[in-house]
Amino acid sequence: MRINKKKFIYLISPKKINNSFYRDLTKVLQQKKVSFFQLRLKKETFKKKIIIGEKIKKICKKFKVKFLVNDDVLVAKKLNADGCHLGQNDMDIIKARELIGDKIIGVTCHNSVKLAKVAVKNRADYIALGAFHHSKTKIIKFKAHTDLIRKVKKNTKIPVVAIGGINSDNYKKLLLNKANFLAISGYVWNNKKLKPLEAIKKLK
């Protein structure tokens, strides 16, 4: 996976997609800071995920952003997405690989060097580590510190995505500690002070 330092954002969808979302997403991706967009809809039906996914995929393609699906490998396959992201309780990466071939597969490794080693051994394309900060998007069960990134980097060259409560105040420290990408959701989509476009512009 090629890493473009200017495009360090791994953008995750809000929990619910409304009609204004597509317009906001277009404006955000126009800033050329996003490498990946992950569709993360826990409560929608398979059919609704496909309808929403088709629209998002077109926008991502226009701006050369990789389109990934969270958790659901079958949705990723049906949408012919660029890949999927797997949590520790989701489908096994080896089985996922059988279903979607050489597409991008990322794996959540929480705050564990051991899980990261397993993901690397199973040929994950990237690993997600965190949470590095308190997040309003999901309940934090695993807290990570920046030295974890350096420890994991000693064992592998595959990209590391840092997750958890990342915003304009704390993002630079993670980049300085060699995180390749920063997973961001709430700061962009649920920001009480800034619109999505204004929020993304603060990440330079």
For 147-166, the pLDDT digits (tens) are 999 999 988 999 999 999 99
Q: At 166, phi and psi to the nearest 5?
A: -80, 135
| Residue 176 falls inside a structural domain | yes
Q: Residue 3 has what pLDDT?
A: 72
The CATH number assigned to the domain holding 156 equals: 3.20.20.70
Residue 137: pLDDT band with limits 50, 70, 90: low
Coil, strand, or helix at residue 125? coil
**How far apart are the C-alpha atoms of 149 and 146, rounded to whole Å?**
6
Average pLDDT (7-21) is 96
d(CA 196, CA 190): 8
Answer yes or no: is pLDDT of 101 > 80.
yes
Asked whether residue 3 is assigned to any structural domain, the reply reads no
* Closest by Cα among 13, 101, 104 to 56: 13
Which residue reads 């080693």 in tokens?
117
Domain annotation covers residue 96: yes
pLDDT class of 134 with cuts at 50, 70, 90:
confident
Nearest partner of 89 among 114, 111, 71, judged by Cα: 71
Domain that holds residue 99: 9-201
Q: Which residue has 């564990």 as its token pair?
A: 112
Q: pLDDT digit string (tens) for 32-88?
A: 999 999 999 999 999 999 999 999 999 999 999 999 999 999 999 999 999 999 999
SS3 content of the chain, % helix, strand, coil (to 5): 35, 20, 45
131 occurs within a structural domain: yes
Q: What is the band of 1 on the pLDDT scale with cuts at 50, 70, 90?
A: confident
Does the pTM surpass 0.85? The reply is yes
**For the chain, percent of residues with pLDDT exceeding 90:** 90
DSSP letter assigned to residue 40: -
Query: What's the number of domains the chain is made of?
Result: 1
**Confidence at 190, pLDDT banded by 50, 70, 90:** very high
In which region does residue 10 sit, left (phi positive, over 0), alpha (psi from -120 to 50) or beta (all else)? beta
Residue 175 lies in a domain: yes
Mean pLDDT of the chain: 95
Does the structure show a pLDDT above 80 at 113?
Answer: yes
What's the pLDDT band for 11 if we cut at 50, 70, 90? very high
Average pLDDT of the segment spanning 165-192: 96
Proportion of the chain above pLDDT 70, given as a percent: 97
**2 within some domain:** no
Residue 32 lies in a domain: yes
**pLDDT the model gives residue 138:** 67
